[in-house]
Structure 1
Amino acid sequence: MTQVSYLWNPPPVPSLPVRGIAERYPVNRIFCVGRNYHAHAVEMGVPVDKANAQPFYFTKSASTLVESGATVPYPTGTSNYHHEMELVVAIGAPGFRVAEADASSLIYGYAAGLDMTRRDLQLVAREKGRPWDLGKDFELSAVCGEIVPIGKLGVLSSGALTLDVNGQRRQTADLTQLIWSIPELLADLSKFYHLQPGDLIYTGTPEGVGAVKSGDRLVGHIDHVGDIELSIGAAE
């Protein structure tokens, strides 16, 4: 076999800790679901009628991943940096055109996640009909806690989700409020992608998103899954 040489060392594989074992979960791709709670869709000025809508997605580069407990700098290019607390589904088996009834076979586990957003840049892009990349896919914007193997949890359909900023409650919801359930999302997304082990799916945020500033500390929780923490440092 020919040995491959590179001009410089490739970056390490992004990965996350897994509860209860030493091996880490290597991250392949990050998919994010937009507007998957009714109240948040209204909050963003774009109500969703499930009867006449389909899920939609955007992506974040795996290189944007940052582990829970980190301190990240206030990002450049924005003056309206927002938190979005979410349940993350970690894929552990390949799947393409998967039926809803078979969705559980793809799930390795779950995590608590934060989809950090440069809201002002996202809204400018939305108004101009442009991609959301500047608002969503930027360095250190995909925060994720440890992966909790699915075990006896099965396909999660309920459980409280909360986020506090400096001890003040900002977001609170229950997974029962998801517009599209986990099986529906996996069945739909697998129509368009060959899902692979290492793929993460951020399933959407409830209402209560808002701005954070340097010095803020974020603490989130999802029942059955666990916690996530993030501190906002000074601007670079």
Structure 2
Amino acid sequence: MYQHLNLQGLPFGLPAGKVVCVGRNYLDHIKELNNDVPAEPLLFLKPATSLCSVTEPVVIPTHLGACHNELEVAVLIGQTLTRATPALATAAIAGVGLALDLTLRDVQDKLKSDGHPWERAKAFDKACPVSAFTPANEVADLQDLTFTLTVNGEVKQQGNTSMMMRDIQSLLVAISEVFTLEPGDIVLTGTPKGVGPLQPQDTLTLNMSPWFNIETRVVGA
């Protein structure tokens, strides 16, 4: 069963909650998929059952079409946030990590064309492989984090949180105005360009120096 872990592999002491995802927060990704720029944060949810450790094999449901990588900075929430001020939002961050927002792109495209929600493409079991979390107080600047996804030795995604259209603090404030964030929830803060289909046997490396350099592999289900 999934647990939030610290860098030493020990439980973080927070329950596994919902995952709040922010879509279209990097302009280069918006352009690569030819999407519209949202006027306000585009939010969707993954349930706690979507969580798994990224150090385990990344499981993709190959019978449902293309499954795309979307590497994102993940923020672990440590305090309840409801209509939070910027200061409270920042204080509520317990940890920072990396996650893959696995996306069934063919399924999502069909849902979007029909005007339906995205959950079938985003919220399936193990759709959110996540790293351990480094304590927030060890992160000097949330808006200067460089992160990279390498697939089979080739860099596919590279971003820096300074490229976000809306910074992490602003996102937490905006989310908490819509619904309450609870201890153990995770916020995925958006993905840069470079999304693409994963294949069984692919080798992935997720990096965010100096905390993470994680190698994992993809398996089909």
TM-score by length of 2: 0.93
Structure 1: stretches of 5+ with no match in the other structure = 1-11
Distance 1:216 1:21 in 2: 25
Does residue 209 (structure 1) correspond to residue 198 (structure 2)? The answer is no
1:104–1:155: 8 Å Cα contact kept in structure 2? no
Partner SS for 2:107? helix
Aligned-partner Cα distance in 1 for 2:11–2:200:
33
Q: In the aligned structure 1, how far is the partner of 2:8 from the partner of 2:62? A: 37
Q: How many pairs align?
A: 220
Per the TM alignment, residue 230 of structure 1 is displaced from its structure 2 partner at its CA by: 3.2
Is 1:227 aligned with 2:213? yes
Asked which structure has the greater CA Rg, the reply is: 1
Deviations 1:43-93 (A, max 9, x none): 1111426xxx10011111111111021113430442211100000000001
Task: Please give the per-residue CA displacement for 1:162-196, whole angstroms capped at 9, x wherever unaligned.
Answer: 11001111011111001110110000000011211
Match of 1:28 among 1, 10, 17: 17
Report if the CA contact (8 A) 1:125-1:131 is conserved: yes
CA RMSD of aligned residues (A): 1.7
- What is the CA distance between 1:228 and its match in structure 2? 3.8
Alignment-derived partner of residue 72 in structure 1: 58
Deviates more, 1:180-189 or 1:17-26: 17-26
Q: 2:137 — aligned with what? A: 151
- Opposite residue 232 of structure 1, the aligned amino acid is V
**Structure 2 unaligned regions, length at least 5:** none
Contact 1:68–1:143 (8 Å) recurs in 2: yes
Partner residue of 1:137 out of 123, 128, 132: 123
For residues 77-124 of structure 1, the C-alpha deviation after alignment (integer angstroms, 9 at most, x for no partner) is 422111000000000011111112332111001111111111100111
Q: 1:108/1:81 Cα in 2 relative to 1: closer, same or farther (>3 Å)?
A: same
Hey, what does 2:26 align to over in structure 1? Answer: 37
Distance 1:223 1:137 in 2: 28
Q: Distance in 2 between matches of 1:158 and 1:48?
A: 23
Identical aligned pairs, as a percentage?
Answer: 31
After TM superposition, the score normalised by the length of structure 1 is 0.87
Which aligned pairs between 1:31-110 and structure 2 lie closer than 5 A? 31-48=20-37, 53-110=39-96
Aligned counterparts of 2:192 and 2:83: Cα–Cα separation in 1: 28
Q: Distance in 1 between matches of 2:9 and 2:58?
A: 27
Q: Deviations over 1:130-186 (max 9, x none)?
A: 010111111111010001111242550112111100111101111100111011000
User: Following the alignment from structure 1 to structure 2, what is the Cα–Cα distance between the partners of residues 173 and 66?
Assistant: 23
Aligned to 1:9: none
